[in-house]
Structure 1
């Protein structure tokens, strides 16, 4: 190994600590022109600013769900909104209107079913399994509602208030 290569293997303790705090994400697709995914995008400052080890499992799951929802919505046309299909059950689809967490380990989805009936899913992070679906926007709504943008904005406001 050449001397210049050895230098690349040596890290300061600060670099090792920083690398351990950064999340690792990866995605591979069969199609070279596959849409950009949440794993491919940099974390917003509001998410990256707080070290992972200081976050509860609920907060960390909440923040990453927001990134997945925002990315999914970016690929929708103006006739569709994001909804959530339930995995492993026959309870239908929830049009996502809100997302929350309760430390240390609960994630909550708020919304309405396809029939307009109010729904709420309360889930432990160890059981988290979410399928995002495109659902036609409600006929009475002129523009599709984009919850992902609002969720990211809320993260940024919360970070500014804390900071």
Structure 2
């Protein structure tokens, strides 16, 4: 499965004049994730571990977007190869950036998919 082919499934960011919590959070997340990614070796990629309602979900981040005033959108691939898309209200955002093994380390590393 080509991880880049699903990157555009995350909606383009939508700004609402005068309201910007999601876009501000998006810029902060982007900066942190890119800094984290620079520290990883060639066999690793940026992953996210979410712990909603006592469960744990881990996936490689392939896309990140937002919809102002309060929605952050993550796209990615789980460790089992399943495509996921998480829509998260900014007030409930709580996740862990983590290094995870790349599914195909012999193929070129897929850059983080930030939609601006």
Taking structure 1 as the reference length, the TM-score comes to: 0.55
Change (3 A) 1:63 1:55: farther
Distance 1:117 1:91 in 2: 15
Assess if the C-alpha contact under 8 Å between 2:43 and 2:105 holds in 1. Answer: no
Deviations 1:74-106 (A, max 9, x none): 100000000100134424201101001011100
Out of 45, 61, 64, which is 1:96 matched to? 61
Number of residue equivalences = 98
3-state DSSP of counterpart to 1:143: coil
Please report the RMSD computed on the Cα atoms of aligned residues, expressed in angstroms. 1.8
Larger displacement relative to structure 2 (55-64 or 73-82): 55-64
Out of 103, 113, 119, which is 2:78 matched to? 113
1:69 maps onto 2:33 in alignment: yes
1:83 maps onto 2:22 in alignment: no
> How far off its partner does 1:130 sit?
1.9
> How far off its partner does 1:70 sit?
0.1
- 4+ long deviations beyond 3 Å: none
Distance 1:87 1:141 in 2: 30
Where do 5+ consecutive residues of structure 1 fail to align?
A: 1-53, 156-163
- Between structures 1 and 2, the one with greater strand share: 2
Partner of 2:21: 57
In terms of Rg, which structure is larger?
1
3-state DSSP of counterpart to 1:145: coil
Where do 5+ consecutive residues of structure 2 fail to align?
A: 1-17
Partner of 2:5: none
Taking structure 2 as the reference length, the TM-score comes to: 0.76
Deviations 1:101-120 (A, max 9, x none): 01110001001100001111
